[in-house]
């Protein structure tokens, strides 16, 4: 008997499309690896031709870690001292400045990395976080092939080139949502650790309280308190004090004045500023979007849709709830997509939406456009989640009518 004899033409088409999507994603994943190798040969990645660190984001992590190891962790929050340390590490004058604006909790990552030579630390950081990211996405989607597909996201390449933490953030968000039902205390641990990048976890406490998930909530609170207390004990109270003093200055520079380039920020706020809006109207717009998304997420989590769709909605909403987001944060976009696949395989419309979202990221990463295009990519994924939720709600309503008729 032909095993495919009972497969409909629609299902066969969907299978073909899925295989094509996998092939494209796998091709991109290996293309990014090839690009990294190609960049390293002429010394365009990690180290220059003289073996000195190239001026890129990972430099600030390594330098902050060195400051912590030398008992001067608070110096990472002093722009003058931190810049001088970057110049010393690079071995030459630097035109720009890399801000260290992470809470002291992240020094527990930076300090061990600073024990290694720069290139070894950079490579270890990229490999470990990428491996964890791939494993998390595969666990969520319940298929190993998802690990390879996730690595094809253009933002994963961007993250690897600059040595950023987008994959780590995706691990924490994915781990929290994956653990929430069966292991709420573990989920709280992941959420508490997400305070290393607090703007990415704004909606989690709201959802936990709104749905009465108190074990996860109190676990997250306990871990958050430890995340404040432990750095004070290990790195000194002055480090925490320096961080709190530094925050308004960083916000004023990066958000109000756009020191790093408003086109590099990938939020509704940055898009409004890029289009000519002043700080206050753009902030009000971002606030309105954040409020609307928060309400929508709470309604989603109180609805009768599957947990996987709820998780996808919260993971995607993270992007809309903050004014501060860069392209290297977009590996997180694999988390809602993995949860959608966990719910059921993608159909033709969803594959098209995923392709458009990644194409949006690709054209920005390749420098084709300089407009903050992140909201467009998030919009495509958000639309797929809304569509899936509406389909499930409609199916539930139809089933209720059938039951009443019976």
What are the pLDDT digits (tens) for 22-78?
A: 788 788 888 999 999 999 999 999 999 999 999 999 999 999 999 999 999 999 999
47 forms beta bridges with: 53
Q: What is the mean pLDDT of residues 237-265?
A: 89
Encode pLDDT of 351-366 as tens digits. 999 999 999 999 998 8
Q: Does the structure show a pLDDT above 50 at 11?
A: no
Q: Does the structure show a pLDDT above 80 at 19?
A: no
192: closest CA among 157, 148, 229?
A: 229
Encode pLDDT of 229-247 as tens digits. 999 999 999 999 999 999 8
User: Can you give the pLDDT at residue 225?
Assistant: 96
User: Can you give the pLDDT at residue 244?
Assistant: 93
Q: Could you give the 3-state DSSP secondary structure of residue 363?
A: helix
User: Can you give the pLDDT at residue 2?
Assistant: 38
Q: Is the dihedral of CA 215, 386, 341, 156 positive or negative?
A: negative
Kind and range of the H or E run holding 150:
helix 145-150
User: Can you give the pLDDT at residue 112?
Assistant: 97
Tell me how crowded residue 38 is: count the other CB atoms within 10 A of its CB: 11
* CA dist., res. 139 & res. 265, Å (int): 30
Rg of the chain over Cα atoms, rounded to whole angstroms, equals 22
Listing DSSP states for 152-216 in one string gives TSHHHHHHHHHT-SHHHHHHHHHHHHHHTTT-HHHHHHHHHHGGGSGGGSTHHHHHHHHTT-HHH
Encode pLDDT of 266-303 as tens digits. 999 999 999 999 999 999 999 999 999 999 999 999 99
With beta carbons less than 8 A apart as the criterion, state whether 17 and 348 touch. Answer: yes
Q: Does the structure show a pLDDT above 80 at 10?
A: no
User: Can you give the pLDDT at residue 200?
Assistant: 95
User: Can you give the pLDDT at residue 222?
Assistant: 98
User: Can you give the pLDDT at residue 4?
Assistant: 42
Contacts with 61 (C-beta within 8 Å, 6 or more apart), sequence order: 100, 109, 110, 113, 125, 163
Q: Does the structure show a pLDDT above 90 at 262?
A: no
User: Can you give the pLDDT at residue 140?
Assistant: 98
Cα 328–chain centre separation: 7
Encode pLDDT of 95-135 as tens digits. 788 889 899 999 999 999 999 999 999 999 999 999 999 99
Q: Does the structure show a pLDDT above 80 at 14?
A: no
């Amino acid at each position: 008997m032909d095993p495919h004899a009972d497969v409909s033409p629609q299902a066969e088409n969907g299978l073909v499309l899925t295989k094509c999507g996998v092939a494209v994603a796998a091709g991109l994943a290996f293309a990014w690896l090839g690009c990294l190798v190609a960049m390293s040969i002429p010394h365009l990645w990690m180290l220059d031709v003289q073996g000195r660190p190239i001026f890129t984001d990972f430099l600030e992590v390594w330098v902050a870690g060195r400051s912590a190891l030398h008992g001067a962790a608070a110096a990472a929050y002093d722009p003058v001292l931190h810049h001088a340390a970057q110049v010393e590490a690079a071995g030459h004058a630097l035109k720009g400045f890399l801000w260290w604006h992470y809470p002291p909790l992240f020094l527990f990552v930076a300090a061990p990395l600073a024990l290694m030579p720069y290139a070894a630390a950079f490579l270890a950081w990229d490999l470990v976080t990428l491996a964890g990211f791939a494993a998390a996405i595969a666990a969520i989607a319940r298929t190993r092939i998802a690990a390879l597909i996730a690595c094809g996201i253009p933002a994963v390449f961007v993250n690897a080139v600059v040595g950023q933490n987008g994959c780590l953030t995706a691990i924490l968000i994915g781990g929290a949502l994956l653990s929430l039902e069966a292991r709420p205390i573990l989920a709280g641990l992941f959420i508490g650790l997400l305070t290393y990048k607090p703007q990415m976890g704004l909606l989690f406490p709201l959802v936990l309280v709104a749905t009465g998930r108190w074990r996860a909530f109190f676990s997250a609170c306990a871990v958050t308190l430890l995340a404040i207390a432990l750095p004070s004990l290990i790195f000194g109270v002055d480090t925490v004090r320096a961080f709190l003093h530094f925050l308004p200055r960083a916000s004023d520079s990066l958000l109000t004045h756009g020191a790093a380039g408003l086109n590099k920020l990938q939020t509704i706020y940055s898009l409004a500023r890029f289009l000519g809006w002043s700080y206050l109207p753009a902030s009000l717009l971002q606030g309105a979007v954040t409020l609307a998304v928060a309400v929508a997420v709470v309604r989603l989590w109180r609805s009768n849709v599957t947990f996987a769709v709820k998780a996808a909605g919260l993971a995607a909403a993270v992007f809309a709830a903050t004014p501060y987001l860069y392209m290297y944060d977009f590996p997180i976009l694999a988390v809602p997509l993995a949860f959608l696949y966990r719910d059921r395989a993608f159909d033709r419309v969803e594959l098209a939406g995923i392709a458009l979202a990644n194409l949006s990221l690709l054209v920005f990463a390749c420098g084709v456009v300089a407009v903050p295009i992140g909201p467009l990519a998030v919009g495509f994924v958000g639309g797929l989640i809304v569509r899936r939720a509406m389909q499930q709600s409609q199916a539930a309503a139809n089933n209720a009518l059938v039951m009443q008729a019976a």
